[in-house]
Amino acid sequence: MRSLSLLFSILISCSLLAQDVLSPENLWKLKRVYGEQVSPDGKSILFIQKEYNLAEDGGTSHLMMVKLNGNDPNRISDGEESIGGAQWRPDGKKIGYLSSSSGSNQLWEMNPDGSDRKQVTSFDFDIGNWSFAPDMKHISFTYEVKIEESLLDKYEDLPKATGRAYNNLMFRHWTEWHDYTFSHVAIASYSPDGDDTGFTFVDIMKNEQYDSPLPPFGGGEQIVWKPDGSALVYVCKKMDGTQFAQSTNSDIYLYSLSSGETRNLTEGMMGYDNDPVFSPSGTHLAWMSMKQEGFEADKNDIIILDMKSGTKTNITSGVDQTFGHIVWANDHKNVYALSPINATYQAFEIGLDKSVRAITSGTHNVNSISLMRGNLIGTKSTMSHPNELFLWTIEKGEETQLSSGNKELISSMNMGKVEKRMIKTNDDKDMLVWVIYPPDFDPNKKYPTLLYCQGGPQSAVSQFFSFRWNFQLMASQGYIVVAPNRRGLPSFGQKWNDDISKDWGGQAMRDYLSAIDEVAKEPFVDNDRLGAIGASYGGYSVYYLAGIHEGRFKTFISHCGLYNLESWYASTEELFFANWDIGGPYWASPKPESYLKFSPHSLVHKWDTPILVIHNELDFRVPLNQGLEAFTAAQLRGVPSKLLYYPDEGHWVLKPQNGVMWHREFYGWLDKWLK
């Protein structure tokens, strides 16, 4: 009996020590950390921690507080409602945030400990992208203004009719049809004492048929107060229709509260000008700027404007890196910014004298930064760990972790090894390739292996932790993952980034084949069980590889990929992207080479390998017709194929239960053909 008891105790102990592997279901148990805000006294940090409930198919954003005293973060919101846009009031006595608990999205305030919650605004419309003026006399926000006439306005006797009519381009964008409204910036009076000001407001873009922030992904970082509260700047692309669809020329506008006048600060700068940040004294303004109109993946330089003299200085012109997420130093002599370098994202110090110094280093992504008492705080991720909050000393980059909401779950997961390899391409260039191995990898076994094709096309395969294209999840299912930083991906100099444009089916495809062919030489890679997977341009890559792979792969998965470049050009919305990367419309004379050489549909007569096609109804960037055409062609050719379709998702899959279903179908298909 004692022996049986001892054996039972040993088995129990072993089961407690055994680690699980990542699964689609527990991906949605991970907490997502973002939106950090440093308190005015520099002693505390607010941040958002979003938690999902798979059964309810939704999530709740909690407001968290962490102090620099070694204690764990604590939640200060009530946990019942999602908190958005949380900000410290400039005097540090209150925290403002957005809540829809009263029926519409309005500004609320609470004490720093979460007590005494009160509604501040009661507009008859939702507000967003809000901010306190530094002098606390005003707030700014955005709201939707209906300017254009709809068919329902025109035909009031047909209230149940659903038709829409448009006479210009940009009638839909990413996931939404144009609804005849525009996002405008407004300023309202505010009293920190809670006096009834009536919250009279001024629409500083009155009657303009333009949006600020920039649709579809711009936010409050594009609307910034001058430190004395006398003015604010905002980003806008003041053009419409065909011009809007073909241009990236956004500008930064300064609105003066005293005069009511608006001035364009970036007149004549033809690319994206974005994310302005005032120096602490307000004497200078910094922003990110692209030079070339129509090129959305151009180098982002940091421009400094002297507000008094009007002199503009490009402080990163001599650096072959692109930058973003600017933060001013207190001494006005430096700014801090993020930059991709060798397939990671790091924090840098850039002097107004054009000196550049790396603050952080390592195999990770620094995803955001703010200044806190002479240090930087922000979020960091790796392929094996989602975002958490960290502090870095500016002088040495020494790191301290401030949040650990996922510690218990991540520590219970058996993660695979992530290996950095440099592989020679067919044109003798060095290409960084990540290889991710299954947990408990055994080099004496043979493993099915996946070539991961990145989207963008200009988007680095960095140390991101994806909640869909998760490399550790792929590895946990028994696959080796090969993730190349092929031509066109940033962080290896601007030429490497630019080489993809107008050459989609050229060198980038050869880079993919160089990567998989080299790794496939390893004895633990089963060459009879290779697959290729990807989304967006990665989905395009899968379709293209299906016509040129010469038997290398046994299956393919394409998510929202481009299949027929001519029909895609005529159905997408941001035509500046197509014009730059494809070379223009297919009816141009001479016809751009991309249509003649690089459209996957022209190679479909060579398709002979099983393929899963995934596409979504609300993807207007790569419209649904692309997936339907590919699936129809595969079916008619007798290629084993399957269509996975979501009527309520866009370019990505964002709903929890849809996400789990996506993963189950994804791995079900791979397991069918590779295991």
From 674, 643, 648, 673, select the one nearest 659 (Cα to Cα): 648
3-state class (DSSP) for residue 372: strand
DSSP for 395-435, please give it. Answer: TT--EEE---TTHHHHHTB-PPPEEEEEEE-TTS-EEEEEE
Burial class (CB in 10 A: 0-12, 13-18, 19+), 210: middle
**The tokens of 376 are what?**
């930087």
DSSP letter at 121?
-
User: How many secondary structure helices (H) and strands (E) does the chain include?
Assistant: 14, 38
Q: On the CB side of 433, how many CA atoms lie within 13 Å of its CA?
A: 29
How many CB atoms are closer than 10 A to CB 63? Answer: 23
CA distance 401 to 345: 17
Cα-atom radius of gyration of the chain, to the nearest Å? 26
Please enumerate in sequence order all residues whose Cβ is within 8 A of that of 310, keeping only pairs 6 or more positions apart, or say none. none
The active-site residue out of 325, 549, 651, 663 is 651
Strands 399-401 and 418-424 come out as: unpaired
CA distance 201 to 669: 55
| Cβ-contact 33, 379 below 8 angstroms | yes
Q: What is the 3-state secondary structure (H, E, C) of 517-578?
A: HHHCCCCCEEEEEEEEEEECHHHHHHHHHHHHCCCCCCEEEEECCCCCHHHHHCCCCCHHHH
Active site residue 619: yes
From 340, 577, 552, select the one nearest 461 (Cα to Cα): 340
The active-site residue out of 536, 541, 558, 594 is 536
CA distance 226 to 224: 7
| Cβ-contact 588, 579 below 8 angstroms | no
The active-site residue out of 251, 503, 581, 619 is 619
CA distance 647 to 630: 18
| Cβ-contact 621, 572 below 8 angstroms | yes
CA distance 302 to 316: 6
Active site residue 309: no
Active site residue 605: no
Which of the residues are catalytic?
536, 619, 651
